[in-house]
Structure formats: C-alpha cells, structure tokens
C-alpha cells in the first residue's frame, strides 16, 4: 500500500522507514529529539567513551544536559 509523505507529499510505501524522495523519517519518529545547536530533529548517537551523554549526528554537540551528568558524578563520589 502507498501513503503520502508528510514532508514532500509524494507517494511512499507504508513499510518504508525513510521517504525515498526527501529522506523524511517515517518510522521511529518517537525516538527523535530536537537539537538546540543545529535546530534539527535528529536520532541521537552515543559516544562509546561517554555513555551518559547523547550527541547530535549533524553537529556533534551534546544533546543531553549537564544535569544528568552532575547526578551521576555526585552519586559516584558518595
């Protein structure tokens, strides 16, 4: 079956993860977060050396705030 892409309005298979015309992510949008640095919705990546923070794959800046890191480090020093 075909459905319309919400971004470009072209016909796309209902089982496609990405629109082949514009690259809009059709499946898994609930995992996207807004990057304040580059103003894009992205699927964050995790650095293997820093598993607390998540990073933007476009601008490589951290998406996770420092509040989570402070809690982790304060708990580690108790």
Which residue range is the domain that position 19 belongs to? 1-28
Average pLDDT over residues 1-10: 91
Same domain, 45 and 16: no
Structurally, the chain folds into a number of domains equal to: 2
Whether 9 contacts 23, CB under 8 Å: no
Same domain, 2 and 17: yes
Same domain, 17 and 43: no
Q: How far is CA 15 from CA 5, 28, 75, in A?
A: 12, 12, 44
pTM of this structure? 0.49
Same domain, 22 and 37: no
Same domain, 8 and 39: no
Task: Please classify residue 74 by burial: count the beta carbons closer than 10 Å to its beta carbon, then call 0-12 exposed, 13-18 middle and 19+ buried.
Answer: exposed
Same domain, 38 and 64: yes
Q: Is the model's pLDDT at 75 over the cut of 80?
A: no
| pLDDT tens per residue, range 15-68 | 888 899 998 888 877 778 888 889 888 888 887 777 777 888 899 898 875 544
CB atoms within 10 A of CB 32: 13
């Amino acid at each position: 079956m075909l459905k319309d892409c919400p971004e470009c309005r072209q016909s796309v298979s209902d089982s496609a993860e990405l629109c082949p015309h514009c690259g809009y992510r059709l499946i898994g949008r609930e995992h996207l977060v807004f990057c304040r640095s580059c103003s894009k919705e992205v699927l964050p990546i995790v650095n293997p050396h820093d598993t607390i923070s998540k990073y933007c794959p476009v601008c490589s800046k951290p998406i996770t705030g420092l509040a989570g890191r402070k809690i982790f480090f304060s708990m580690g020093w108790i």
